[in-house]
Structure 1
Amino acid sequence: MTSEIFVLGAGIVGVSVALHLQERGRSVVLLDRNAPGEGASFGNAGLIERASVIPYAIPRDWRALLGHASNRNAAVRYDPAFLPRIAPWLLGYWRASHPDRLKKIASELLPLIEACLGEHERLVDAAGLSHLLRRDGWIEVVRSAATLEEAGRRSADMQATYGLASDVLDRQALTRLEPALRSAAIGGIHWRDPFTVSDPGALTKGYAALFEARGGTILREGVNHIAPEGAGWRIATENRSHSSAEVVVALGAYSNTLLSPLGYRIPLVAKRGHHMHFRPEGEATLRHSVLDEEIGYVLSPMTAGIRLTTGIELAAPDAPANRIQLDRAERRAREIFQLGMPVEDKPWLGLRPATPDMKPVIGPANRHPGLWLAFGHAHHGLTLGPATGRLLAELMTGETPFADPSPFDIGRFL
């Protein structure tokens, strides 16, 4: 097949790029080994995270670091044999977590995060997917009076600095919003700006269906390699090849597989994440997604049940899925909410592609004309997918970009 542009990767980022290019009159083929909306786009916590303007950093507090180093908590787990393989990445992440650098990184990401709700709403309306979207925010619960006091200060600071809407909840106010939450949760913060999604995989599939309905082509083929050919590109798949004037690599954690033979080696590490769905116990209901940050998990009301999503696991990407973090989180989650029996027999595993400076790679591959990049969104793939699609499409078509693209340029790693 020959097309003006091939977008490689049918997760939320790749589908969003394809839609934005299509809207600008480009002929686009979306290509992936799997159906749209699989991988990390399927298994996240379903948060369109307007409120998380500060990236997830390595804590500087020694007590928090000791907690992670113990390898016994639910928020972060690591395979000791894997850490030497990613030591340079960890060092870069540690340096980027310095408060001054973190503040700068947050300011660079902010235009994308500010655009996330509007870009999603436009696509949701066009695709007829409003039944998947809730616009009432999410709740961060706390377990102690000291943590509630700190949460109040943080809420006020985020309102003053970033204009975010939030309410600090005592136990009574929390019960009004979520009557089924147990007494271990003594209060929290209701972050009111974000949207939540009841089925992230279905949302991405719905966006892909919109792309097809508008005349786009989706191919289910795995890509073996890409190479320059004349003034364009050749895309070799498992059993045939395609020609394209331009190529977008949006393969998440697998992007280096195609880029390394071309001389690019992006410091990209897959943060592993697991989830399982549970039936509520008895008549218990959960109205909002709930983050228990002190422990490190999210409970989200989903179409399939209450989704328990874990924090970060640093282990080989191809290592089997496991229940280690899930079991730790489940025990503590039952202190907060009445979880019943699990819906699935086995946990789901996904890979969150993360760079050491916590920013995605968006823009041209500066050594090869016609090669474009969009990956490395870590925990914010669902949040930033449509905003990324818009930014990259504007760059590819010569429009004035709505956000400064320079912080996301691949040149920072070359």
Structure 2
Amino acid sequence: MTEPIQDRLVSLRRSFHRHPEPAWREFTTTARLVEEIRGIGVDELAVGPDAYDPADRMAVPDADLEPWIERARERGADESLLERMTGGNTGAVAILERGDGPSIGLRVDIDGLFIEESTDPDHDPVDEGFRSEIDGTMHACGHDVHMTWGLAVLESIAESDFAGRLVVFFQPAEETGGGGCPMARSDFASGLDYLLAVHVGLDHPTGEVIAGIEKPLAMCHVDVTIEGTSAHAGKAPNEGANAMHAMGSGIVNAYGIPRHSDGMTRVNVGRAEAGTASNVIAERAHMECEARGETTALMEYTKRRLERTMRSAAKMHGCRADVEVVSESPRADSDPELQALVSEVAGGVAGVDRVVPAADFGASEDATFLMERVQEDGGLATYMIVGTDHPTSHHTPTFDVDERSLQHGVDVLVGTIRELEARHPVPQADAGDATPADDASAEVGE
């Protein structure tokens, strides 16, 4: 019989850490999750296209899937599962049906990042022998911890006398903002009374729990391709339409987009490339950009300005710009009723010595799709943070976690689920208490 997950939190987390896979390529990861879920025993398990409509996915890579499928095959992944995940349809949803009671969702993300993990002998994954085995890819944001939490919570609730419905979303493609939307639009997100989402660390130390985030930034990823006309840079530069010049104008002008009086906005061009040689007028340029806003409406304002800026820059130089919104996510704030409940539960968890009811997030997360879906359907949602000491920031080659936080996260999540069961229905605050600034759907003019 398989050793209980609760007894192997560290080894399971380290196993996931050794095999990180980026967005929509989580084939080995999904297969391992399915193996563990089947060992737990659930009432329903949906994988890939059975968990969501593939057409709702965002930021799906056009190529580069086959090497990841082959790697999963070499590692012994179930061939029938790989067939089901054809086209990059990764991830899973596990459901426990335990009679009358609340319907509770738990969302954890599963993808890694394109980061080469440090080989420094002082880096614990190197010293302890669980450094990433996949070159150029790393769990540098703690999703290996999140998956471990999801499985451990599922096991704990399955073995308890819980009455109700528990839906655990093992969501792919968070780092690209591509997986939250299809999960939120799926039938599995329908009728949830409560949704819990969770992250490790985020500059909060071991022993600290944030019961719910506020002010996550709405976000969009935008790809821009500029097509021009090549020419000899010395002999006839006037015959070309310089895509690189257009790109430069677009970048400068993007950073000049006016900030908005209604709240904070962000714009960034994170990657840009153009040209083939020093003596050739560049006929093609490509940029990867993003826009963010304090509300969904402010993000939309910035996105529209960014799109217009890039098209205008291309036109000014006789080129054409193709602008594609690759993925996006809305703002959704945690509900104070759940923040209060999580605070109470976390305060009684061994090893947790500080509970913060709420904190500004300041970044973006596509769990907001699920939060928004549940809230629009009349339920409550919160996105909590379980602190961990990490030697360097998220998304760096030396990121790691304090593994004591593994048990903290399980205990807070299981305790919250059981309290929701006991207190259901949790009274909701008067909707009239919300302020106009909290309304992410408010119109923002230009």
TM over 0.5, shorter chain: no
Higher normalized strand content (fraction of residues) = 1
Q: Which has the larger radius of gyration?
A: 2
